[in-house]
């Protein structure tokens, strides 16, 4: 496993390295994508080809045999290492990048909502084992309704946290999303509302009938008293 992580260790120790983490959330999946930008001046051509063939496991479990899809692109100044994988609720909680960069990260899913919360410190700026990253950007994109969040910026349905050497010790991620109702739930709610409406009509009718009876009795008593 250690050999498979050499690439990430080298990338994070390179000066000028930046990372972008993108997580797209829908009802059933967590599509994870990571892009690490590294200066060309820090790598030789042969060296970069060796690194580009390294495989990164989707979790840090010793028994993990599934790896991120990876690719390498470049421009005039930088290399771009890209990793992506469509996780589920079980694997994303154990995900390599999630657990590597936050000591505690919890992604909880219920029938009604998805909640993400982490500890305060972003560990991938300055790590105990020497890993380093100058800047990082975390983007969470979802078409679910966001109930609350502590993002630095919101652009449409993308929530962004910007992390650097000045704020990495206090940069927790907190976001809660409301899941869409299934057709089954919609039908249940309609049935429940319909039943409530029927009960309202019945009770309202009974109350009106009672008022009419009392009114009639009162009128009859008054007429009897006049006689």
Q: Which domain holds residue 15?
A: 3-178
Is it the case that residue 187 has pLDDT exceeding 80?
Answer: no
- Using pLDDT thresholds of 50, 70 and 90, give the confidence band for residue 37: confident
Same domain, 102 and 146: yes
> Strands 158-164 and 135-142: what pairing?
antiparallel
Q: How many whole angstroms separate alpha carbon 53 and alpha carbon 169? A: 33
The pTM assigned to this predicted structure is 0.74
**pLDDT at residue 200, as a whole number:** 72
Same domain, 150 and 195: no
Same domain, 141 and 220: no
Same domain, 225 and 148: no
Same domain, 109 and 188: no
Same domain, 56 and 140: yes
Same domain, 138 and 197: no
Same domain, 128 and 26: yes
Same domain, 123 and 21: yes
Same domain, 169 and 218: no
Computed from CA positions of residues 160, 125, 17, 11, in that sequence, does the dihedral angle turn out positive or negative? negative
Same domain, 170 and 186: no
**pLDDT at residue 224, as a whole number:** 66
**pLDDT at residue 43, as a whole number:** 72
| Residue 22: burial class (beta carbons within 10 Å; 0-12, 13-18, 19+) | middle
Same domain, 159 and 223: no
Torsion angle (degrees, nearest 10) of CA 36, 37, 41, 46: 50
- Using pLDDT thresholds of 50, 70 and 90, give the confidence band for residue 116: very high
pLDDT of 171-185, one tens digit each?
999 999 999 875 455
Is it the case that residue 48 has pLDDT exceeding 80?
Answer: no
pLDDT of 122-156, one tens digit each?
988 754 444 456 789 999 999 999 999 999 999 99
Beta strand residue intervals within the chain, DSSP E = 18-25, 30-39, 69-74, 78-87, 105-109, 113-118, 135-142, 145-149, 153-155, 158-164, 174-178
How many domains does the chain contain in total? 2
Q: How many whole angstroms separate alpha carbon 69 and alpha carbon 66? A: 10
């Amino acid at each position: 496993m250690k050999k498979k992580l050499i690439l990430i260790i080298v990338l994070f120790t390179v000066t000028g390295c930046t990372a972008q983490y993108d997580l797209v959330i829908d009802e059933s999946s967590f599509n994870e994508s990571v892009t690490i930008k590294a200066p060309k001046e820090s790598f030789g051509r042969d060296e970069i080809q060796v690194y580009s063939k390294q495989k990164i496991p989707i979790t840090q479990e010793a028994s993990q045999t599934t790896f991120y899809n990876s690719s390498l692109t470049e421009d005039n100044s930088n290399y771009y290492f890209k990793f992506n994988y469509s996780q589920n609720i079980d694997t994303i909680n154990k995900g390599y990048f999630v657990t590597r960069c936050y000591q505690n990260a919890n992604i909880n899913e219920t029938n009604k909502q998805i909640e993400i919360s982490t500890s305060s410190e972003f560990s991938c700026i300055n790590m105990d084992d020497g890993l380093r990253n100058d800047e990082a950007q975390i983007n969470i994109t979802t078409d679910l309704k966001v109930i609350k969040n502590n993002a630095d910026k919101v652009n449409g349905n993308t929530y962004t946290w910007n992390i650097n050497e000045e704020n990495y010790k206090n940069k927790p991620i907190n976001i809660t999303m409301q899941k869409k109702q299934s057709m089954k739930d919609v039908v249940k709610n309609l049935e429940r509302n319909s039943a409530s409406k029927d009960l309202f009509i019945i009770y309202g009718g009974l109350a009106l009938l009672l008022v009419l009876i009392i009114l009639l009795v009162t009128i009859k008593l008054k007429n009897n008293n006049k006689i």
